Amino acid sequence: MRAVDVAVVSAAPALLRLLAGDRETVHRPGGTTVVARIGPLLVAVEPPSASSPTSGVPYARRRLFAGVARGLPPVRPGDVLVPAEVVGRPAYRPDAELLALARAMRPDDWTPDHFAHSPAVHLGSVLGRSEARSLPAGGFSLIVLGAVDAGTDPVLRADAVDAAAAFTLALLRRLAADSHVAGRPGRVSPNPAHRVSSGVTLSDMRDGDCGGGVTRPG
């Protein structure tokens, strides 16, 4: 399999549905990899793996993880969490360009059409030690998590998956538009009207892509 610009680790079927245009599906022992082009970027989407999150990709300049986690107020179902730190994994350092793009994203850029409210993006959250153990192995350039509530409502869980997928895809489209040439950093203009909160701590995440919890610092 050829090298790609971005590898996205996610079990969210919504991410694959949102990928338009020509797609290439690569079947391998660890799962199925879907490769598509977003502007100048070649992007691979793979399911999480306990041993290696991108075992089917020989090289990826950036690696993203898109999953879900439960949230407590002020986090609402359908919001997106972008942690800036993973406790116990000092090697995790969010890609500066991706983090700037996430900060500049407006709700209109990514909110799924069926959402009845305008979701928020919570930046600067902290991923705890227990959640780090449940993440797939490997380093990530950015982690994107859709928020669900403390219940198990399948509709809310589906909304969280859709939020993470839509935000990740919009982020990649913005990266492609700002880069023009794959691998060249783009210029990002902050959007002061965008609702962003910080200081959220994630806890008790389970199974990487499909569970977890969010608590505010005491």
Beta strands, E only, 128-215:
142-148, 196-197, 201-203, 213-215
Question: What's the pLDDT at 156?
Answer: 85
> What are the tokens at 175?
């990266």
Q: What SS3 state is found at 212?
A: coil
What is the pLDDT, as a whole number, of residue 97?
92
User: What confidence score (pLDDT) does residue 136 get?
Assistant: 64
Q: Are 182 and 120 in contact (CB under 8 A)?
A: no
Residues 87/43, Cβ–Cβ less than 8 Å: no
Close Cβ partners of 73 (under 8 Å, ≥ 6 residues apart): 216
| Residue 36: partners with Cβ closer than 8 Å, 6 or more residues away | 19, 20, 21, 22, 23, 24, 42, 43, 45
Q: How does strand 23-28 pair with strand 31-38?
A: antiparallel
> For the segment 126-151, what is each residue's pLDDT rounded down to a tens digit?
766 766 666 665 678 999 989 887 77
For residue 132, the model assigns a pLDDT of: 67
Whole-angstrom distance, CA of residue 55 vs CA of residue 190: 35
- In this prediction, the residues of the chain whose per-residue pLDDT falls under 70 are 1-2, 20-21, 30, 49-56, 58, 70-72, 127-128, 130-138, 152, 180-218
